[in-house]
Amino acid sequence: MRLSLLTSLAALAFSSYAQSPSADAYVASESPAAKAGLLANIGPDGSKASGAKAGVVIASPSTSNPNYLYTWVRDSSLVFKTLIDQFTTGEDNSLRGLIDDFTTAEAGLQQTSNPSGSVSTGGLGEPKFNIDATAFTGAWGRPQRDGPALRSTALITYANWLLANGNGTSYVQNTLWPSIKLDLDYVQNNWNQSTFDLWEEINSSSFFTTAVQHRALREGAAFAKTVGQPSVASGYTTQADNLLCFLQSYWNSDAGYVTSNTGGGRSGKDSNSVLASIHTFDVDAGCDAASFQPCSDKALSNLKVYVDSFRSVYGINNGISATAAVAVGRYPEDVYYNGNPWYLSVFAVAEQLYDALITWNKQGSLDVTSTSLAFFKQFDSSVTTGTYRSDSSTYSSLTSAIRAFADGFLEINAKYTPSNGALSEQFDKSSGTPLSAADLTWSYASALTAFAARSGKTYAGWGASGLTVPSQCNGNAGPTVSVTFNVQATTVYGENIYITGNTGALQNWSPDTALLLSAANYPMWSITVTLPASTVVEYKYIRKNNGQVTWESDPNNSITTPGSGSATQNDTWR
């Protein structure tokens, strides 16, 4: 009773300084606040980015509980893609100097050797750096292979604008293209290796990573042709085809949603999938399901399953209709900070719905299939499968209801956004109070992109139109299985256990890029890796302590992976 009373009082106190619940009012007040909050976190002149080099994006000014005063390649690339889109469409012509600072900073980070390797030995998969652009050398979930893809996408958008406006050909050829090619080559050569997901918790295959890698290689191939590199373009296209093929393997047809991670022992219902859809949106692709466009039947079915998975998880969702907007987070099993809604996840749901509305409006119709029927029945219980033209009453009623549904997610965030517009990472699942990292730059960027979609804005396409899924994936893309490696090993302070082996997923016997195991159940060290199915895999564990590497004794360990499903291998350090 006392806890319930305190929670109610906290919610009452918080509501006194929350934003207006109206979506229109929230967009009007939060748009300038989000833009200012984002710019404040970019060095060297951002008011909250003291110590950050020019063009470096700090994730958050928070230095404790949690310490996010670092620069992540993924976050920075998403933030600057937002700014580059604003600049290249004429929304904000003041950003060019800042964008040039970003390109310079990222080119420097590409060349900075780090625990993932050098520029030529895997270092481009390093997820984060210190804000003075030096390497972060602590233990972390590495590699994270979405960063190079997202960075190349941002830079290609800028490079294409420069070429179209005839005032940067030399800069594009001599400065931007070398950086872009490094990232695209990394994606081309490493897309089928395991990766930590965008939440930095699971080392397996990640839907978000695969989707943004596919986009990067598609637009990278077109850009390579533009700068006179047709043979390079051909290589990118080949692997893009393989990525598109592999992307289909995440779809859970029986349950109607994307299994966002192939490892980790969770349901796979994850904001990862929604973020993938909005960050690979191409209005020219229509409602293509192969690339999981926002209005595709698979993306809509997935969205419903994902949103519904949170209806009974958070206290602040109690009493809300089963067909109304609710607070959502990363995934329903989340325990980070006790598991709460994330502003950026809520914005992402709204953005996918706005993107869908943009596409339906452009094509003048919407399709209801057996896959998406449950999604549409939320808004009209009598709707049936079929095509509804824009001049029909069903189209009008459905799109009107879906827009109101999308606005509902903005209104959820509005309810829990302080009156000054500050966006943290999360808000409490019981009281709605902001918590975790304050002034999260990605939260601000997600607000801006959702608001842009609500206003009907679209940006340059990336070649998603007219794609055909190959009948068979080539390379090491599939079939694959999830293997959990457990090893009993006692260690001294500062020492960690890694694994490497004879496949690309195990880093081809490289001690420099060997995969870090988790010590969450010490002295048991564990990792889940996606490996080729029905394959004999050899591996060894190694110890690392202050740069000193100690290998397990001979002979190599060996496992034959199953033909499907998953497996667990239990070992003891030798």
11/428 Cα distance (integer angstroms): 10
Instruction: Say whether 209 sits in a helix, a strand or coil.
Output: helix
Between 177-190 and 207-226, two packed helices, what is the crossing angle to 10 degrees? 130
Catalytic residue, chosen from 185, 197, 288, 439, is 197
Binding residues for substrate: 140
Structure tokens at 188: 């081309």
The question of whether 200 is a catalytic residue gets the answer yes
For the chain, the residue count is 574
Q: Looking at residue 514, what DSSP letter applies? A: P
E strand map for 73-162 = 128-129
End-to-end distance of the chain based on CA atoms, in angstroms? 54
Residues paired with 532 in a beta bridge = 480
Q: Which of 153, 155, 167 is nearest to 55 (CA)?
A: 155
Catalytic residue, chosen from 100, 200, 495, 538, is 200
Half-sphere exposure (Cβ direction) of 216: Cα atoms closer than 13 Å: 31
Element containing residue 286 per DSSP (H, E): none
416/428 Cα distance (integer angstroms): 9
Binding residues: 140
Between 297-308 and 343-363, two packed helices, what is the crossing angle to 10 degrees? 150
Q: Which of 174, 124, 119 is nearest to 147 (CA)?
A: 124
The question of whether 30 is a catalytic residue gets the answer no
**In contact, 292 and 276? CB cutoff 8 Å:** yes
Q: Rounded to 10 degrees, what is the CA torsion of 239, 243, 244, 250?
A: 170
Catalytic residues: 197, 200
